[in-house]
Structure 1
């Protein structure tokens, strides 16, 4: 998440999240959601957990609230925050993004200034062809659908983009509510591309497809040199994040 202090992953208690060094046992039996003044709230035995800052864990749609509620329902004897990405995203949106919308949008826009989709390999020919075939349609999509025209370049030397294109990405980010903006802020560095992140947010690409597009070079190297177990685990974890973001954005649409 761009320059947003990370939420402590070891937090939770009966009255909500709180910092703790101890493993926390499950303290609830039933999980549901209920609509209230602040949106759709997660309920644990009829009581609402809170964010680390003490706010109600309330989301804008029933589908988004159920995404978080399912994580609480799936917990075993002990709470495992690592298995609760939607809950963490919601808490980040409520506690952090709501207080730093413009800085978050600035950093998303900065990715457009050096977007992954604009840095093409010079060789080998097979990778050059693959990038041209798979990335060019998304640069065209951004130009037509977003009004963001980015120019590609070969090699790793930075090529400045039109400031108007970068400003347009910032504008699009600020149009989003806090929850969608939190998701976009997570998706952009994950994919290395503001364009792919916006395509994912808008449902134009799936999480799995966006992730594979973001790692063409990495996958090419793996095809030549192989992949070790640790790298495979990191790739699987990042792919799971992209797929979670697809569900997150879809749930925010209701």
Structure 2
């Protein structure tokens, strides 16, 4: 609803389902920036205009509203407004009173994921120690907070000096840092990992890998299920959104970019081995969605699997390494990856990854953008 006082939108929840504006831009507002929808300020719950302190974040928030719903009359959900929700949380809940946020986050010191280790199997015990102990050591060195390591799940309270050190680390965070930590810490189950991301010592994707180490071990033993993979994708999405909010909040004078647009490249993969009839397509599609890659995967008539993937170079490299093992029932003999021109890719929907039916042969470079991929026999 738009009136003389501006759009009546609750930016803290993204409670908008239908687009009623044509243009979204950012503009200076004192020592910060505000978002304008058809020249009226975007307002948070309570009626005050949403203000952000970083121009880079202001551009990105305006971009969210430019894309939401596509055009006037379009329908969209709150997932389209991740940065807006975080910016409103900072303004309404964190900046006015930081103490409750710090106290809530500090409560995770006694239940930090990295402190609680399995007693068996030995492979998991060794994996946890190798992956988690370096970050407990980092916390001790960086923040003078040494958390205990215990076996099992019975809670063990950290020493008072460690709690005090972590409290000081949280108090040193700016409002944007506390806002991001309010998502990172409960999502990852670890105050240590959250602080490492907020301090720039750990990237979001690696933090999620560490947080899901136990569950990933179980998936490798018993095979994936849709519910678990969907939850893992949500953990990665929420972690990346919080990390991106923090990055944008702390940088000035640069164009905002989506995490999935950084170093975006396209590759075509051909995977050989026992990769059909073992859930390889479904596994690859789920892993690609977790990493927010675009593209598709399909079976070939000669027994191979073909995939076309687009996304950040580091995400493609991570999935390429994992694809050499694949799901538990697969046996991968080779993964051939080559750069691929977008004009040769055929139609792919940005931000979506699908798996399709079997085709006789792999994609040809004679394919024309906007036309179905051409299969060429071998």
TM-score by length of 1: 0.88
Unaligned ranges ≥5, structure 2: 252-378
Q: Of 49, 52, 59, which residue of structure 2 is paired with 1:56?
A: 49
Q: What residue in structure 1 maps to residue 133 of structure 2?
A: 136
> Equivalent residue of 2:167, what SS?
helix
Unaligned ranges ≥5, structure 1: 1-11
Distance 1:100 1:230 in 2: 37
> Equivalent residue of 1:136, what SS?
helix
Change (3 A) 1:23 1:101: closer
Q: What residue in structure 1 maps to residue 157 of structure 2?
A: 160
Q: 1:68 deviation in Å? A: 1.7
Q: Which moves more between the two structures, 26-35 or 218-227? A: 26-35
Q: 1:38 deviation in Å? A: 5.0
Is residue 184 from structure 1 mapped to residue 181 from structure 2 by the alignment?
yes
> Equivalent residue of 2:26, what SS?
strand
- Once superposed, what is the RMSD of the aligned Cα atoms? 2.0
Answer whether contact 1:38 1:58 (CA < 8 A) is retained.
no
Is residue 78 from structure 1 mapped to residue 71 from structure 2 by the alignment?
no
Any runs of at least 4 consecutive aligned residues in structure 1 with deviations exceeding 3 A, and if so which?
none
1:109-160 deviation digits (Å, cap 9, x = unpaired): 1111221111111111111111100111101111111222112111112222
Q: What residue in structure 1 maps to residue 368 of structure 2?
A: none
Q: Which moves more between the two structures, 240-249 or 172-181? A: 172-181
Give the count of matched residue pairs.
242
1:13-61 deviation digits (Å, cap 9, x = unpaired): 65241499x9642122222212211512222222220111322211121
Q: Which one has the largest radius of gyration? A: 2
> Equivalent residue of 1:32, what SS?
strand
Higher relative contact order (CA 8 A, sep 6+): 1
Q: 1:230 deviation in Å? A: 2.2
Q: 1:236 deviation in Å? A: 0.6
Change (3 A) 1:221 1:212: same
Answer whether contact 1:49 1:57 (CA < 8 A) is retained.
yes
Q: Which moves more between the two structures, 120-129 or 170-179? A: 170-179
Distance 1:148 1:60 in 2: 31
Q: Which moves more between the two structures, 74-83 or 130-139? A: 74-83
Q: 1:97 deviation in Å? A: 1.9
Q: What residue in structure 1 maps to residue 196 of structure 2?
A: 199
Distance 1:149 1:52 in 2: 41
Question: Counterparts of 1:1-254 in structure 2 under 5 Å?
Answer: 15-18=7-10, 24-76=17-69, 77-254=74-251
